[in-house]
């Protein structure tokens, strides 16, 4: 197991045991736990809607970014969380002002979600993601881009 990645195939005589491969696969969320994650996302969604009604878009974005389901391959979890983050992202009007309130600890996960937004191809979503991406890169630097691309724990 080189660099923390599990090999896709094994050659005869490989020193990677079957149990080592299974241990790496167990790090990902199973289907039973996915239901619990979706329930937490639904709760988070209600909290975000409340914050948006109070005209607190940055707080809503922080809440959306917190507790993103790590290590999940379940597309339902990823999609449910993306919908919540997207809802909060699209309400941000003052991108420059957003960064005065947003803690740097959120930068890397925000960058991952910006790339998810760009992958949708939806014009308004892409426009908003590009506006935020430009300011985020100015603020956090190129390292933020590299960290978000290399991150294998937070699968968005």
**pTM, entire model:** 0.77
Q: Would you say 96 and 139 are in contact if contact means Cβ atoms under 8 Å apart?
A: no
- Among 20-34, 35-49, 60-74, the minimum mean pLDDT is found in 20-34
Q: What is the pLDDT of residue 68?
A: 81
Burial per residue of 28-58, b for 16 or more beta-carbon CB atoms within 10 angstroms, e otherwise:
ebeeeebeebbeebeebbeebeebbeeebbb
**What percent of the chain lies above the pLDDT cut of 90?**
65
How is domain 15-150 classified at the architecture level of CATH? Answer: Alpha Horseshoe (1.25)
Residue 25 has pLDDT above 80, yes or no: no
pLDDT in tens, 106-143: 999 999 999 999 999 999 999 999 999 999 999 999 99
Domain assignments of the chain as residue spans, ordered by start: 15-150
């Amino acid at each position: 197991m080189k660099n923390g990645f599990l090999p896709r195939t094994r050659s005869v005589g490989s020193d990677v045991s079957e149990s080592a491969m299974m241990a790496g696969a167990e790090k990902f969320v199973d289907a039973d736990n996915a239901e619990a994650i979706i329930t937490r996302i639904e709760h988070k969604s209600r909290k975000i809607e409340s914050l948006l009604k109070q005209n607190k878009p940055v707080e809503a974005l922080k809440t959306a970014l917190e507790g993103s389901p790590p290590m999940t391959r379940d597309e339902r979890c990823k999609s449910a969380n993306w919908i919540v983050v997207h809802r909060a992202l699209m309400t941000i009007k003052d991108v420059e002002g957003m960064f005065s309130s947003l803690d740097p600890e959120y930068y890397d996960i925000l960058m991952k979600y910006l790339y998810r937004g760009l992958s949708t191809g939806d014009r308004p979503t892409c426009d908003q993601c590009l506006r935020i991406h430009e300011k985020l890169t100015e603020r956090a630097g190129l390292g933020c881009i590299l960290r978000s691309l290399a991150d294998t724990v937070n699968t968005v």
